């Protein structure tokens, strides 16, 4: 304890030198923290929301846009496709499951998605209150959404046209919330599910009975799961060549995104590593500087009877204090950055990311402690072995 106090006093004696090492450590660790956050949340969201979707069919356009729209709900649709053509795919031997999605409206920025009962197994939806939508203009939402929007079962909401909040006028076609489901941890938690018919009803002139006009009905896209891997070679080609629709393979598109992101991540990773290496060098340098200024003090302690190991632990404490202070500031920095990233994700994409203090942050602190020990080991050994009386008389 006395060693640590003395080390702390020594650090306060040379604040500029200590501060540089502390900040280098803080920024290095902060960047690692943000990177971990990014890969844990963003990559996890990307992979978990794939949920076995092998192919998406939608209007012709950018396949990446189709994937981002249909699976992650962060981009606009490419257009609409005739329901008739989608339905014809159901009979294909390679199609195991087909989930139709119809987009176009939102409530407070949350997308209203017309679909059918296939979403229950796809997203693993379990009702906790009320019941699933059956008739048109009924809708279900997640517990998270119910809480964020302050909606309960039986309440009515009015969607507005477009996919982002504050769009055009409302439709005056209120949806009745009939059920609330348990949070799934997927993108489903931020969607309002209703039947396909509801979306048609909202977007067509009403007063007619549309059920006989099946031929004209359109949806936005459909998620498709294959019966086997061979479908990869045949089904996309079939769709792209023989229909007005395009087929996109999400795993390929997402891979492409990650390859692009990956370069950025790699750069950030290296910057972080360089910062930490600089910080280690900074600590070693600061300790040696401190040592050369204080070698006679350490020798004095030896002359006063202090054990060599005590000298060793004073120097070690100095290094450890620098690195741990850096670690703490680094974690605070990364938490701040994570807070802003999470707010951005929530505001723009309605995704919700956790940024609570967790295992990762403890790991960062451990990393900082370990680097501190490694960095101060050599100076500490030097102090331990060089602190002899000869230095005192030359002081």
Partner 1 sequence: MKDNSTTLIVQTDALKYAYHHESSFLYRDIHLARNQTLFVLGKSGSGKTTLLNLLAGFLLPQSGSVWIAGENLARMSQAQRDRFRGRNIGIVFQKNIFLSSVTVWQNLQWAAYAAGLPFDKEHAGRLLEQLGIQSKSSKKPHTLSQGEQQRVSIARALVNRPALLMADEPTSALDDENALEVIQLLKNACSSHEAALIVVTHDRRIVSSEDLIYYTTPFQTPSPQ
Strand ranges in 182-326 using DSSP code E only, listed in sequence order: 191-195, 218-219, 221-226, 245-248
Please select the residue that binds partner 1; options are 47, 307, 347, 362, rule is CB under 8 A.
307
By beta-carbon proximity to partner 1, the closer residue of 240 and 391 is 391
Could you say which residues in the range 152-211 bind partner 1, by CB under 8 A? none
Contact between 75 and 62 under an 8 Å Cβ cutoff? The reply is no
The residue range among 101-109, 290-298, 346-354, 367-375 that interacts with partner 1, by the rule CB under 8 A, is 290-298
The residue range among 8-16, 91-99, 137-145, 359-367 that interacts with partner 1, by the rule CB under 8 A, is 8-16
For the record, the structure tokens of 182 come out as: 């348990």
386 binds partner 1 (CB under 8 A): no
Q: How far is the CB of 303 from partner 1 (least distance, A)?
A: 6
Give the relative orientation of helices 15-38 and 2-13 as an angle to the nearest 10 degrees. 100
13 binds partner 1 (CB under 8 A): yes
Distance between CA 148 and CA 139 in Å, rounded?
A: 16
By beta-carbon proximity to partner 1, the closer residue of 6 and 153 is 6
Parallel, antiparallel, or unpaired for β 55-59 and 221-226?
antiparallel
The residue range among 76-84, 156-164, 228-236, 291-299 that interacts with partner 1, by the rule CB under 8 A, is 291-299
Q: How far is the CB of 387 from partner 1 (least distance, A)?
A: 10
389 binds partner 1 (CB under 8 A): yes
Distance between CA 318 and CA 336 in Å, rounded?
A: 27
361 binds partner 1 (CB under 8 A): no
381 binds partner 1 (CB under 8 A): no
Which of 74, 47, 161, 159 has the alpha carbon at shortest distance from 348? 74
267 binds partner 1 (CB under 8 A): no
What backbone phi and psi angles, to 5 degrees, belong to 339? -60, -45
The residues, ordered by sequence, that sit 6+ positions from 337 with a Cβ below 8 Å of its Cβ are 30, 33, 34, 37
Give just the sign of the alpha carbon dihedral 216, 222, 226, 231. positive
The residue range among 31-39, 149-157, 305-313, 319-327 that interacts with partner 1, by the rule CB under 8 A, is 305-313
301 binds partner 1 (CB under 8 A): yes
Contact between 176 and 140 under an 8 Å Cβ cutoff? The reply is no
The residue range among 134-142, 168-176, 208-216, 385-393 that interacts with partner 1, by the rule CB under 8 A, is 385-393
Please select the residue that binds partner 1; options are 91, 212, 241, 393, rule is CB under 8 A.
393
Contact between 111 and 70 under an 8 Å Cβ cutoff? The reply is no
Which residues in this chain contact partner 1 in the complex, by CB under 8 A? 2, 6, 9-10, 12-13, 294, 296-297, 299-308, 310, 388-389, 392-393, 395
């Amino acid at each position: 304890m006395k060693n640590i106090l003395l080390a702390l006093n020594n650090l306060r004696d040379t604040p500029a030198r200590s501060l540089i090492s502390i900040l280098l450590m803080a920024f290095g660790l902060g960047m690692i923290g943000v990177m971990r956050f990014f890969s844990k949340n963003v990559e996890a969201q990307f992979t978990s929301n794939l949920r076995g979707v092998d192919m998406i069919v939608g209007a012709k356009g950018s396949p990446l846009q189709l994937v981002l729209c249909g699976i992650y709900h962060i981009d606009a649709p490419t257009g609409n496709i005739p329901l008739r053509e989608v339905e014809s795919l159901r009979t294909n031997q390679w199609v195991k499951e087909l989930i139709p999605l119809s987009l176009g409206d939102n409530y407070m920025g949350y997308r209203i998605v017309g679909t059918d009962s296939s979403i229950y197994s796809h997203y693993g939806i379990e009702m906790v209150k009320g019941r699933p939508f059956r008739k048109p203009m009924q809708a279900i939402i997640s517990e998270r959404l119910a809480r964020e929007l302050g909606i309960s079962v039986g309440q009515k909401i009015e969607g507005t046209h477009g996919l982002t909040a504050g769009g055009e006028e409302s439709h005056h076609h209120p949806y009745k919330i009939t059920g609330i489901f348990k949070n799934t941890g997927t993108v489903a938690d931020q969607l309002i599910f209703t039947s396909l018919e509801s979306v048609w009803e909202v977007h067509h002139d009403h007063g007619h009975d549309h059920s006989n006009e099946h031929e004209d009905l359109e949806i936005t896209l459909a998620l498709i799961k294959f019966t086997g891997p061979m479908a990869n070679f045949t089904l996309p080609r079939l769709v792209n060549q023989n229909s007005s629709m395009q087929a996109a393979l999400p795993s390929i598109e997402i891979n492409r995104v990650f390859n692009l992101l990956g370069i950025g991540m790699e750069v950030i990773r290296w910057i972080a590593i360089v910062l930490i290496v600089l910080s280690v060098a900074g600590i070693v340098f600061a300790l040696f500087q401190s040592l050369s200024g204080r070698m006679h003090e350490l020798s004095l302690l030896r002359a006063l009877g202090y054990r060599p190991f005590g000298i060793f632990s004073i120097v070690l404490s100095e290094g450890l204090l620098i690195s741990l202070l850096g670690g703490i500031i680094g974690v605070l920095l990364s938490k701040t950055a994570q807070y802003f990233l999470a707010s951005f994700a929530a505001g723009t994409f309605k995704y919700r990311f956790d940024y609570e203090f967790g295992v990762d942050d403890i790991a960062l602190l451990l990393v900082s402690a370990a680097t501190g020990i490694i960095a101060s080991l050599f100076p500490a050994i030097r102090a331990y072995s060089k602190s002899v009386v000869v230095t005192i008389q030359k002081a």
